[in-house]
Amino acid sequence: MIYLDNSATTKPSKEVLASFMTVTEDYYGNPSSLHGFGSTAAILLDKARAQAAAIIGAKKDEIIFTSGGTEANNLAIKGITESLKHKGNHIITTQIEHPSVWNVYKELEQKGFKLSILQVGKDGRISLNQLKQLLSKETILVSIMHVNNETGTIQPIEEAGELIKTFSSAYFHVDAVQSFGKIPVNVNQSTVDLLSISAHKFHGMKGTGLLYKSMKAPLLAQVAGGNQENGLRSGTQNVAGAVAMAKAMREGTEQSNSRHIEGLKKQLIQFFSNSPFTSMVTPEEFSAPHIINVSVPGLKGEVIVNALEKEGIIVSTTSACSSKNAEVSRTIQAMGYSHKIAKGSVRISMAHTTTQLEIEQLQKAWSSEIPSLLKGINY
Read off the amino acid at residue 316.
S
Would you state the pLDDT for residue 376?
53
Q: What structural domains does the chain harbor?
A: 2-9+257-374 (3.90.1150.10), 14-254 (3.40.640.10)
The closest alpha carbon to 231, from 246, 218, 245, 247, belongs to 218
pLDDT in tens, 126-167: 999 999 999 999 999 999 999 999 999 999 999 999 999 999
Predicted confidence at residue 254, as pLDDT, reads 63
Query: In whole angstroms, what is the distance from residue 146 CA to residue 104 CA?
Result: 18
Q: Name the pTM for this structure.
A: 0.94
Please state, in angstroms and rounded to a whole number, the distance separating the CA atoms of residues 379 and 376. Answer: 9
Output DSSP code: residue 148. Answer: -
Q: Which residues pair with 213 in a beta bridge?
A: 194
Can you tell me whether residue 99 is helix, strand or coil? helix
Q: Which residues contact 251 (CB under 8 A, 6 or more apart)?
A: 13, 15, 16, 202, 203
User: What pLDDT score does 379 carry?
Assistant: 44
* Rounded to 5°, angle at Cα 270 from 360 and 319: 75
Low-confidence ranges of the chain (pLDDT < 50): 379
How far apart CA 153 and CA 169 sit, in angstroms, is 27
Phi-psi region of 378 (alpha: psi -120 to 50; beta: other; left: phi over 0): beta
Q: What is the pLDDT of residues 222-232, one digit of tens each?
A: 999 999 999 99
Cβ contact 151:287 at 8 Å? yes
Residue 72: enclosing H or E segment and its boundaries? helix 69-84
Residue 238 is classified by DSSP as: -
pLDDT at 161: 97
Containing H/E element for 331?
A: helix 330-334
What are the tens digits of pLDDT across the range 44-92? Answer: 999 999 999 999 999 999 999 999 999 999 999 999 999 999 999 999 9
What's the farthest any 2 CA atoms get from each other in the chain?
Answer: 72
- Which entry of 50, 320, 321, 373 is annotated as an active-site residue? 321
Residue among 269, 323, 240 at smallest CA distance from 17: 240
- What pLDDT does residue 325 have? 57
Alpha-carbon gap, residue 357 to 82, rounded angstroms: 51
Instruction: Check if 321 is active-site.
Output: yes
* Residue-level pLDDT at 375: 84
